[in-house]
A and B are shown apart, each in its own frame.
Chain A
Amino acid sequence: MVDMQTVEVESDLLILGGGMAACGAAVEAAYWAQKHGLKVVLVDKAVVDRSGAVAMGLSAINQYVGLRDGQNTIKDYVDYVRNDLMGMTREDLVANIARHVDSSVHLFEKWGLPIWKDEKGAYVHEGRWQLMINGESYKVVVAEAAKNALGSDSIYERVFIVGPIMDGDRCVGAVGFSVRENKFYIFKARAVLVAMGGAVHVFKPRSSGEGQGRAWYPPWNAGASACFTLKAGAEMTCQEVRFIPVRFKDAYGPVGAWFLLFKARATNAKGEDYMVTHKDELANWAPYGQVKPVPANLRNYLGMLDLMAGKGPISMRTEEAIQKIVAAAGDPKEVKKKMREVEAEAWEDFLDMTISQAILWAASNTSPEEKSSEIAPAEPYFIGSHSGASGAWVSGPEDLAPPEYFWGYESMATVKGIFCAGDASGASSHKFSSGSHAEGRIAAKSAIRYLLKENPPKPTVSGGQIDKLKTETYAPLETYSKHVGATTQPDVNPNYILPKMFMMRLQKLMDEYAGGVTSQFTTSGALMNRALELLAFLKEDSEKLAAPDLHELMRCWENIHRMYQAEAHVRSMLFREETRWPGYYFRSDHPKLDEQNWHVFVNCRMDPASGKWEMTKRPIVPMKA
């Protein structure tokens, strides 16, 4: 095997990831670090300009509370999030993000993000909490501020993080490798901020060919955050709370603007609106089902009832919505003008953030003002920042967190020295891009406070430990070069498995046994026990992963990360003996909501030494009044 140079990088605070949360962390940490003489380093698997979930752009900012203008209160936001998650929410965390998020949005505007304004200069809302933006360069602008704050010498790009470096119960850094050069990285740090996104492709996607890449959430978010915190021995929460977005079918274009801004209906083949015809079903999911807005999973569920009864396809009635808006404009000249305006808005919604959907419209000769478009539930995703909730169990802020949720430093995991933000932290849904940025800032300031108050020692990593980590990291390259000559074609070999087939094996078992698309999002205790059997074989075979080059080596590790996310998910769904989020998943053996026994968080922890899992219930406690 090629000799890999070992590069050791020391810092006080190590930021892992380069997306919205990590960029927020960078801006905040840079300020405090300069003031107190500390060193901050950021590591991204891609380039910060266009990495993470906002890499393509966005057409809206989904969290803006509007405190400045007295539009809403913190309590309003907390109430909205708690209900949308069927009661499973850490109010202290949600309120903490909500009180800072407007600051991040105002900064984005100063940095150069165009936010839509009305004639009076006020922000144009898509919905109560959502702002419309010209967001093609959203990430570029946010990354630019982070880079200008931190300085390019402190940013390592195209370095893939494999996992944590531990010193007893304390995290002292991270191990990674360059995907472009023969360089092995040991990042030593006194505190680590995890912000490496959620997970995609744990479940089999609907597309079977090229379209596999068109996941709703980006395919490069591969479970790095969850695996990192699990391997460090951190307690995790809401690992059962996957998210299934209902989006424009196949290309996954956003529906928010259509439902909220354009007030479109979605109807089945008979022209029936499932939100109307299945309204009575909501009573079975009280009290959550009877609150407005109806929780996202229940909206999904009502649509799925039609689909499962064969009443599809379900269509977004774009033509109806546009005609209605345009008709209200008045005289023919105004109608024409309004039509041009709405048409441009509709296309920009896709061109800003899901260009594939624009291609699909063009390829199917679809003009939204003339023809409706099909919508459908996608496959399951792990995204604690959106309407999912999976992530690490972190401390709340001192002024808001009840004693059960407070252990000294907000955003700190149950492992010393690890701070989490964005998709990496759990039970604080609906932070989206802006709230993730704000949470990155919160976590970074907290990490700096931890460094200054606790003064954790400078980490030492022994030469022996480095050698061991290096061997583990590059094992798939070694396996490949050792065995590739054993057969006449490199992709079929009894001695190893390539990462793509490994991923497909994971996806197939999750799809069939853990409630994926093929099984209509339905699972049971028996099915999940079967999933765990198959996952155990997969875990053993992960030692036989092989990679011909650095790109494929990254793919090997991404799929190991996905595998850990998968196991945490299955174990948590298995532990929670009820169906709380119909529309995300159903347990056929426990088909009802059980408030008496399951109005609790499901948390899990993997013992890093033994690999054994512990499942626990944690109480739901409101924030301090």
Chain B
Amino acid sequence: MPSFVYPEKCDGCKALDKTACQHICPNDLMVLNKETMKAYNQEPEMCWECYNCVKICPTQAVDVRGYADFVPMGASVVPLRSTDSIMWTVKFRNGTLKRFKFPIRTTPEGKAQPAGGYSTDPSLDGLALFTEPDSLGLPAVWTNKK
């Protein structure tokens, strides 16, 4: 099914103007059923299993079940994403459990500065882009012009 929603965990994002999963899905798949106030995937066969809905859900109500047309049943892969790392719990069909943790970013959320701290004063007619040549770590942008 790709992504699916556990009804007992989904609170419809407490009737905000849209749910978190609806907000993030790159393929516009997640929808809130206004009667039950539960989200669902409206087009499972167009789901990339990108897990963005799973990672963003504030109540861990969204999960993924491998594509039924080629994935044997019984496994699960569950992320827990924080501000600087992500932890994955991988459960095999035979019950084997693996856990991995990886960093996801080195700066505080929201703080990416466009110039990245590089000094810049390129000219409109020159070769250098914004932050260059400093951000290249070179004295000038390469050219083969004589």
Contact = CB atoms under 8 A, between A and B. Distances in A.
Contacts of B88: 347, 351, 358
Given A102-B137, A363-B73, A399 B105 contact: no
Contact of B25 (A46, A114, A251, A445): A46
Interface string A180-214: 10000000000000000000000000011111111
Contact of B77 (A74, A359, A397, A449): A359
Interface stretch (A50-58, A269-277, A387-395): A50-58
A344 B28 CA distance: 32
Interface string A11-31: 000000000000000011011
A347 B98 contact: yes
Contacts of B72: 363-364
A108 to B, nearest CB: 9
B64 A355 contact: yes
A365 B25 CA distance: 29
A402 B138 CA distance: 26
Interface string B78-102: 0101000010101111101010101
Contacts of A10: none
B90 A358 contact: yes
B60 interface: no
A365 to B, nearest CB: 5
Given A50-B50, A68-B138, A400 B144 contact: yes
Contacts of B112: 110-112, 141, 144-145, 148
A250 interface: yes
A49 B51 contact: no
B52 A551 contact: no
A100 interface: yes
Contact of B104 (A31, A74, A137, A158): A137
Interface in A246-273: 250-251
Majority-rule SS of A interface residues: helix
A298 interface: no
B69 A551 contact: no
A114 B114 contact: no
A443 to B, nearest CB: 11
A47 interface: yes
Contacts of A148: 110, 112-114
B46 A213 contact: yes
Contacts of A51: 26
B84 to A, nearest CB: 9
A103 B135 contact: yes
A74 B142 contact: yes
A208 B72 CA distance: 16
Nearest to A65: B142
A362 B93 contact: yes
Contacts of B98: 347
B76 A362 contact: yes
B106 interface: yes
A50 B25 CA distance: 8
Interface string A107-135: 10011111000000000000000000010
Contacts of A114: 103-106
Nearest to A216: B48
A84 interface: no
Interface residues of B, number: 77
Nearest to B72: A363
A47 B22 CA distance: 10
B66 A360 contact: yes
B77 A50 contact: no
Contacts of A438: 129
Contacts of B27: 46, 213, 218-220
Contacts, number: 254
B92 A362 contact: yes
B129 A359 contact: no
Interface in A43-80: 45-47, 49-52, 55-56, 67-68, 74
Nearest to A110: B116
Contacts of B57: none
B49 interface: yes
B68 A112 contact: no
A355 B51 contact: yes
Nearest to A398: B145
A106 interface: yes
Contact of A55 (B23, B44, B50, B105): B50
A445 B130 contact: yes
Interface string B38-61: 000010111111111000000000
A355 B100 contact: no
B52 A625 contact: no
Contacts of B105: 112-114, 137, 140-141
Contacts of B100: 344, 347-348, 351
Most buried by A among B44, B52, B130: B130
Max count, chain B CB within 10 A of own CB: residue among A106, A149, A250: A106
Nearest to B44: A210
Contacts of A68: 136-138
B69 A210 contact: yes
A497 to B, nearest CB: 17
A448 B124 CA distance: 9
Contact of B110 (A47, A144, A351, A623): A144
A442 interface: yes
A356 interface: yes
A399 B127 contact: yes
Given A211-B67, A359-B66, A49 B24 contact: yes
Given A110-B116, A362-B92, 8 more contacts: A100-B132, A145-B113, A145-B116, A207-B69, A211-B67, A251-B70, A347-B100, A355-B49
List the 10 shortest-distance A-B pairs measured between CB atoms, nearest first. Answer: A110-B116, A112-B107, A209-B69, A68-B137, A362-B75, A363-B75, A111-B112, A211-B67, A149-B114, A56-B50
10 contacts: A47-B24, A100-B141, A106-B135, A136-B86, A148-B112, A209-B68, A251-B71, A362-B91, A399-B145, A448-B124
Interface of B: 1-2, 18, 23-28, 42, 44-52, 64, 66-77, 79, 81, 86, 88, 90-94, 96, 98, 100, 102-107, 109-118, 120, 124-125, 127, 129-132, 135-138, 141-145
